[in-house]
């Protein structure tokens, strides 16, 4: 199993962090009793700019969950289409060549699901095997690679695509000025990313997927996720996320690598989800990484923010385009998300 390619797509509206802060002050108005807290939290987010699916002045009109979700359905199709095309076209793969499609999002829902809508929009095969997933959040990009690898291991002559689309700005709520939401509105951006997972008999090149590991941490469901009501999604984002990372990640990675006769010293590069400054710092500490090891993740965070499920695929795209490992070198791709849980993928270039 190999990762043959990756692509991403972003909305055309791009704002620096200061412009978004100004827009949110206007959006919340008198509800925001501590604007200085908003400024401070956004300044500490590690984000310099983000793409938003709409101009900032348009969000005031999105006053129901139904309106937000209708916008998600519209724009998720457009961005998902573009991300898939940018992943497959350089490889000479046509849409009809895709055998399985894994689609993840945690910022909107549709039935028929997004994958079904893309079959019609892109002319994908009517025999496409589909796996739409909601609820995994930030871990879903790594989860999708792992599950697509399972698929092409069983069908080595086939190609699977993982697509993650997150339009986080459509979850903004005017009735929520909690500290968690102030953090979230400063951290999460909009975008889509796709990865191509190829079976051994397809002839496609790329880093080999050696193995994957899923880890669930019992009784941590309050760490991250959504409270969902008639008003839409309300962010659950505990300050304990970095503590969970520090408590578990090192032993999880060490035991996984040991099964392959490896240790962290054997890993040439780390392809890590852009969870935010405190999460990235916790990963650096937990894994005892050398200085600069997570620079690609930090740069992705600066340029587009945390894209939830799509983030790790964007970092992967950067590695495939600009940071490919030497032949035989090992990489670890990893992400964490609601559950709380982690997905770890061992790659060999």
Domain shared by 7 and 109, yes or no: yes
pLDDT in tens, 192-218: 999 999 999 999 999 999 999 999 998
Q: What is the pLDDT of residue 241?
A: 85
Residue 285 lies in a domain: yes
20 and 137 assigned to the same domain: yes
Residue 144's nearest CA partner among 115, 104, 84, 100 is 104
Asked whether residue 22 is domain-assigned, the answer is yes
Among residues 198, 220, 249, which one ends one of the domains?
198
The CATH number of the domain where 101 resides is what? Answer: 3.40.47.10
Q: Per-residue pLDDT for the chain (349 aa), expressed as one digit of tens each?
A: 999 999 999 999 999 999 999 999 999 998 998 889 999 999 999 999 999 999 999 999 999 999 999 999 999 999 999 999 999 999 999 999 999 999 999 999 999 999 999 999 999 999 999 999 998 999 999 999 999 999 999 999 999 999 999 999 999 998 889 988 999 999 999 999 999 999 999 999 999 999 999 999 988 878 778 878 888 888 887 878 888 889 899 999 999 999 999 999 999 999 999 999 999 999 999 999 999 999 999 999 999 999 999 999 999 999 999 999 999 999 999 999 888 899 999 999 9
Backbone phi and psi for residue 127, each to the nearest 5 degrees, phi listed first: -95, 10
Instruction: Give yes or no: residues 262 and 333 share one domain.
Output: yes
Q: Are 294 and 243 in a shared domain?
A: yes
**Residue 27's pLDDT is what?**
93
Instruction: Quote the pLDDT of residue 242.
Output: 87
Q: Do 8 and 60 belong to one domain? A: yes
Look at residue 203 and tell me if it is in a domain: no
Q: Are residues 241 and 130 in the same domain?
A: no
Residue 84 exposed, middle or buried by CB count within 10 Å (0-12, 13-18, 19+) = buried
Contact 202, 97 (CB under 8 A): no
Q: Could you confirm whether 138 is annotated as catalytic?
A: yes
Residues 190 and 96 grouped into a single domain: yes
How many CA atoms lie within 13 Å of 46's alpha carbon, on the beta-carbon side?
A: 19
Dihedral sign, Cα of residue 190, residue 133, residue 94, residue 153: positive
Structure tokens at 70: 């209708």
Query: How many Cα atoms within 13 Å fall on the side-chain side of residue 8?
Result: 23
Q: Find all residues with CB under 8 Å of 337, minimum gap 6, and list them.
A: 136, 137, 138, 139, 140, 224, 308, 309
Token duo for residue 76: 């998720």
- What is the dihedral angle through the alpha carbons of 59, 65, 66, 67, rounded to the nearest 10 degrees? 0
Residue written as tokens 């080999």? 208
Tell me the chain's radius of gyration from C-alpha atoms.
19
8 Å CB contact between 204 and 198: yes
Q: What is the DSSP letter of 313?
A: H
Q: Of 144, 169, 198, at which residue does a domain stop? A: 198
Q: Tell me which of 85, 138, 164, 341 is the catalytic residue.
A: 138
The rounded distance, in Å, linking the Cα atoms of 225 and 102 is 21
Same domain as 160, residue 255:
no
Whether residues 77 and 167 share a domain: the answer is yes
Domain closes at, from 163, 198, 233: 198
Q: Are residues 134 and 220 in the same domain?
A: no
> Are both 278 and 144 inside the same structural domain?
no
Q: What is the pLDDT of residue 219?
A: 84
Range of the domain at 257: 208-348
Q: Which of 135, 109, 233, 239 minimizes the C-alpha distance to 175? A: 233
Does 308 share its domain with 218? yes
Number of domains in the chain: 2
Whole-angstrom distance, CA of residue 279 vs CA of residue 282: 5
Residue 168 forms part of a structural domain: yes
301 found inside a domain: yes
pTM above 0.85, yes or no: yes
């Amino acid at each position: 199993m190999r990762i043959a390619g990756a692509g991403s797509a972003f909305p055309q509206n791009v704002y620096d962090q200061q412009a978004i802060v100004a827009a949110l002050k206007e959006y919340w108005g008198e509800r925001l009793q501590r604007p200085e807290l908003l400024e401070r939290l956004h300044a500490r987010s590690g984000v310099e700019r983000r793409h938003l699916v709409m101009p900032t002045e348009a969000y005031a009109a999105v006053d129901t969950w139904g309106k937000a979700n209708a916008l998600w359905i519209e724009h998720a199709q457009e961005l998902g289409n573009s991300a898939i095309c940018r992943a497959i076209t350089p490889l000479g793969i046509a849409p009809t060549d895709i055998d399985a499609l894994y689609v993840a999002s945690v910022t909107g829902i549709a039935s028929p699901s997004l994958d079904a809508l893309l079959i019609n929009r892109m002319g994908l095969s009517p025999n496409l095997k589909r796996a739409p997933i909601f609820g995994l959040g930030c871990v879903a990009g790594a989860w999708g690679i792992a599950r697509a690898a399972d698929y092409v291991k069983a069908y080595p002559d086939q190609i699977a695509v993982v697509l993650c689309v997150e339009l986080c700005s459509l979850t903004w709520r005017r009735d929520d000025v909690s500290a968690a939401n102030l953090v979230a509105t400063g951290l999460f951006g909009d975008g889509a990313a796709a990865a191509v997972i190829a079976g051994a008999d397809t002839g496609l090149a790329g880093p080999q997927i050696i193995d994957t590991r899923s880890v669930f941490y019992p009784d941590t469901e309050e760490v991250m996720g959504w409270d969902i009501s008639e008003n839409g999604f309300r962010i659950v984002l505990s300050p304990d996320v970095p503590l969970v990372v520090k408590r578990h990640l090192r032993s999880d990675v060490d035991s996984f690598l040991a099964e392959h006769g490896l240790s962290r010293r054997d890993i040439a590069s780390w392809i890590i989800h852009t969870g935010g400054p405190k999460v990235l710092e916790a990963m650096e500490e937990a894994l005892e990484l050398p200085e600069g090891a997570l620079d690609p993740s930090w740069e992705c965070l600066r340029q587009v923010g945390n894209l939830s499920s799509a983030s790790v695929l964007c970092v992967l795209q950067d590695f495939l385009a600009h940071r490919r490992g030497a032949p035989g070198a090992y990489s670890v791709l990893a992400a964490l998300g609601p559950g709380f849980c982690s997905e770890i993928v061992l790659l060999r270039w």
